[in-house]
A = this chain, B = another copy of it.
Amino acid sequence: MADHYKPFEPLVKRIKEDGKCLNGGILKVDSFINHQIDPTLLQAMSIEFVRRFATKEINKIITIEASGIAPAIMVGFLLNVPVVFVKKKKPSTMAGMYSTEVFSFTKNRAYTVCCSKEFLNEGDKVLFIDDFLANGNAAKGIIELTKQAKAELVGMGFIVEKSFQQGGSYLRNEGYQVESLAIIDSLDNCQIKFKEN
């Protein structure tokens, strides 16, 4: 539930120091998340995800290439479970797959996400990890893929959530445990306004 949100302070601090806000509600965290990764922060965030999903049984991490791969890999490493990368296009060498359409507001177009049937199985208990939660379209794609596979989506962890977009409230209303390490209430006037506890 959103009520129980607790910001992960090392991340909030880092966003305040190094995050940049661009026109159009874009938060740029290139220097430590998207284009260059700080390994110490990555480890700390991944341990925090492990803590937040400590009550859940998890046998697989799932993410969508490319920007979710780094935190997903680190959480998979900590939990010692396989990490599955959902692909953004249908690779020519992949036969037998689950697939669905995802609409990207950032890119203003739909794309296909797909996952081989080999790597998502009935009964899997899957944790979805991604960098950003905004409109939640990538998450909806993951929900659809796990449904096709009859896998159980036990939770979703995001580094940054933009609460002024509707993904978080939609997913929580659907009953999913959604954990965001930092929630941003507004990027108006190029000011980063964090949600408090």
A-side residues, CB < 8 A to B, are 22, 26, 28, 30-31, 34-40, 42-43, 65-66, 69-70, 73-74, 76-77, 80-85, 87, 93-94, 115-116, 118-119
Contacts and interface: CB of A to CB of B under 8 A. Distances in A.
A34 B116 CA distance: 11
Contact of A65 (B26, B66, B81, B82): B66
B84 A36 contact: yes
B39 A93 contact: no
A80 B39 contact: yes
Contact of A70 (B35, B38, B39, B73): B73
Given A40-B80, A80-B40, A93-B26, A35 B119 contact: yes
Smallest CB-CB A-B distances: 3 pairs? A66-B66, A65-B66, A36-B119
Contacts of A37: 73, 76, 82-85
A40 B74 CA distance: 12
B35 A116 contact: yes
Contacts of A82: 36-39
A76 to B, nearest CB: 5
A84 B35 contact: yes
Given A39-B73, A42-B77, A70-B73, 6 more contacts: A26-B93, A36-B83, A37-B73, A37-B82, A65-B65, A69-B73
A36 B28 CA distance: 29
